[in-house]
Amino acid sequence: MDFSRRSFLARGGAFSAAATALAPRVLQASVGSGTLTTVSDGSLLLPGSFIFEPMPAGELQPILTEFGLSWDRLTPECNLALYQDGDRTVLFDVGSGPDFMPSAGTIVDSLAAVGLAPEDITHVVFTHAHPDHIWGLLDDFDEPLFYEATYMMGRAEWDYWWDPDTVNTIGEARAAFAVGAKRRMEAIADSVVLFEDGQEVLPGIAAVSTPGHTPGHMSFEIRDGSQSALVLGDAIGNHHVAFRKPEWISGSDQDGGMAADTRRMLFDRITSEQMQIVGFHLPGGGMGRVDRAAEGFVFVPGAA
């Protein structure tokens, strides 16, 4: 399977004429005294094999039919979480920027639509360093776009992409991911704040280790009193097979077995605690809740 940026761009160009343009949704929910918003960075255009190839074809087909999915093309939304509590404006991830895929990289326009400019962002907290989450870090002059922000990343994720051996061990198809991540991380290397699993990275925001999609992937629990929400990043990466069959290995994850274990853990926690969630590639603006279903789980989009 070819996961390379070149393959994505080539397929994206082929699919763009057939893709349906949808106006991105902005969803907002209160978490205590703060406000959690989803802002769009556009969408991706991917071959279905990127996710589906390792899965059992006979069991997969009814799920594809149920959700109206194609093996040939997927167009997942890219939804970034934004949390404001009066003193801080926290953006989780920075999107793709202009260099990954022509259908993505719209975060600046989406922020403007909710009355914000890049300089209004006080903190950027990364879930992980895949292209659609970190390549939007730099502006046209290769300087940090959110220039007033403090940048924060989990130590395990930082160490993985910073390691010079990663580009040689990640696999040829993803080598460009490693090069691109390292180039952007170099721009913030002198000021980045690193944190560990379980640490309160900012008041009311705690890191939750959710590895598998990448080795150091982090999710974040936002809690204020009795209200909480979980920013998932790509730990639960879609609303179809990840929900119906969380135990299945996905081609999008760097460590499929570990990612499946993480999904099972997350679904148990989300449903038992009835948590609001934000998923980067979940539909309808990316915000919603999780219900148990006869088979697996179901995503219910919408702000609580």
Per-residue pLDDT tens for 181-193?
999 999 999 999 9
Determine the pLDDT at residue 167: 97
Determine the pLDDT at residue 201: 98
Q: Dig out the tokens for 195 from the structure.
A: 């944190």
Decide if 275 contacts 231 (C-beta within 8 A).
Answer: no
Q: Dig out the tokens for 166 from the structure.
A: 């990663």
Per-residue pLDDT tens for 104-128?
999 999 999 999 999 999 999 999 9
Task: Say which residue, 44 or 18, is predicted with more confidence.
Answer: 44
Q: How many CA atoms lie within 13 A of 283 on its CB side?
A: 12
The whole-model pTM stands at: 0.92
Helices 155-162, 175-186: axis angle to 10 degrees equals 110
Q: How confident is the model at residue 24 (pLDDT cuts 50, 70, 90)?
A: low
Q: How confident is the model at residue 10 (pLDDT cuts 50, 70, 90)?
A: very low
User: Which helix (H) or strand (E) element contains residue 231?
Assistant: strand 227-233
Could you give all domains of the chain from N- to C-terminal order, each with its CATH number?
A: 5-12+23-301 (3.60.15.10)
Decide if 74 contacts 48 (C-beta within 8 A).
Answer: yes
Strand boundaries in 22-149, DSSP class E: 27-31, 34-43, 77-84, 89-92, 123-125
Residues 66-85: what's their mean pLDDT?
Answer: 96
Decide if 181 contacts 164 (C-beta within 8 A).
Answer: no
Q: Which residue blocks in 76-174 are alpha helix, DSSP H? A: 107-113, 131-134, 155-162, 166-169
Helices (H) and strands (E) in the chain, counts: 10, 14
Place of tokens 């279905």: 48
What is the spatial order of strands in the sheet that 297-301 belongs to?
A: 200-202, 205-209, 218-224, 227-233, 276-279, 287-292, 297-301
Residues 9-13: what's their mean pLDDT?
Answer: 38
